[in-house]
Amino acid sequence: MLLGPLIRLLFSKTGLIIVALFLGFSLITGNNPLTFLGQLFTGGESQTEVSTPYKGTPKDNELAAFSATILANTEDVWNGILDNYREPTLVLFTGSVSSACGSASSATGPFYCPGDEKLYLDLSFFEDMEKKLNAPGDFAQAYVIAHEVGHHIQNLMGITEKVQNLRGQMSKTEYNTYSVKLELQADFLAGVWAHHSQQMSHMMETGDLEEALNAAFAIGDDRLQKQSSGRVVPDSFTHGTSEQRIRWFKKGFDTGDMAQGDTFNANPL
């Protein structure tokens, strides 16, 4: 189980005291305790916001603490790979949220907004992954966050803007192929993160990689579409097939090499 010991500490008696202290601190200072949880694990400035009104269940709070930990871990990794890495903010919400990219509901799923450099995550998505998509496990959840951080990396590198500029210059079908390349590159970057995270802290345990790949498979567009409509419409794919997603994640995980992730010139994709 990924980061099992940390999470166990967090929810052990000692951990609860730490959380209680942070909650107390946040009541006094008006600061969000999760921000401090992130700092607890990195000593850095990991930012996690909770949108109001946030009606988290105990299970949500557990997932929130876990998400903050994963975000902090992605920061450790990307700070080591990229010069002047600008850390994104994680926003946890329930129901609906407004971002610089417009308002979104839980149905949107996790997303990254380049306009405010924030990752938006409705924790109920994790429960859906477990119950509706049959993708349980904490590494699968880490993969989802790492994928959104991958979009942040693409934004920092100017790739997102280049792709967005193509919109309107071509047919929707043609644009979708670029959209797929962008998504598969985010999967690749999630794999690069997992590679370096593993080298730094050996936190992955047996079964974690399979969990992540299972998640990639479960949220491949072909599978999501089959579940929702019973048939697959390849032209409207915007994330790539499950096979493609697993392959690009694995390429990043196996190599850990940013230079291997040019999905835009890969043939076959």
# of chain residues touching Zn ion (CB under 5 A): 2
Residue with Cβ nearer Zn ion (6 or 140): 140
Which CB atom, from 182 or from 203, has the smaller least distance to Zn ion?
Answer: 182
Q: Which is nearer to Zn ion, 186 or 204 (CB)?
A: 186
Q: Give the helix/strand (H/E) hosting 234.
A: none
Nearer to Zn ion, 6 or 183 (CB): 183
Q: Which is nearer to Zn ion, 3 or 153 (CB)?
A: 153
Q: At 30, which helix (H) or strand (E)?
A: none
Q: How far is the CB of 150 from Zn ion (least distance, A)?
A: 7
Number of residues assigned to the chain: 269
Segment (H or E) for 51 = none
> Per CB under 5 A, which region of 8-16, 102-110, 175-183, 217-225 contacts Zn ion?
175-183
Tokens of 42: 């990195």
Nearer to Zn ion, 37 or 97 (CB): 97
CA distance 148 to 44: 20
**Span near Zn ion by CB under 5 A; candidates 49-57, 82-90, 177-185, 228-236:** 177-185
Give the tokens for residue 115. 């306009």
**Whole-number Å distance between alpha carbons of 23 and 31:** 9
Alpha carbons 32 and 27: distance in angstroms, whole number: 9
CB-count burial class (<10 Å; 0-12, 13-18, 19+) for 219: buried
Q: Minimum CB separation from Zn ion for residue 109, in Å?
A: 9
Q: Could you tell me the smallest distance in angstroms from the CB atom of residue 92 to Zn ion? A: 18
Encoded one letter per residue, x for contact with Zn ion by CB under 5 A and - for no contact, window 185-204 reads -x------------------
Collapsed DSSP state (helix, strand, coil) of residue 163: helix
* Minimum CB distance to Zn ion, residue 213 (Å): 16
Looking at residues 49 to 88 of the shown chain, list those that interact with Zn ion (rule: CB under 5 A): none
Cβ 119 to Zn ion, closest distance in Å?
A: 11
Phi and psi torsions of 105, nearest 5°:
-115, 175
Residues that bind Zn ion (CB under 5 A): 183, 186
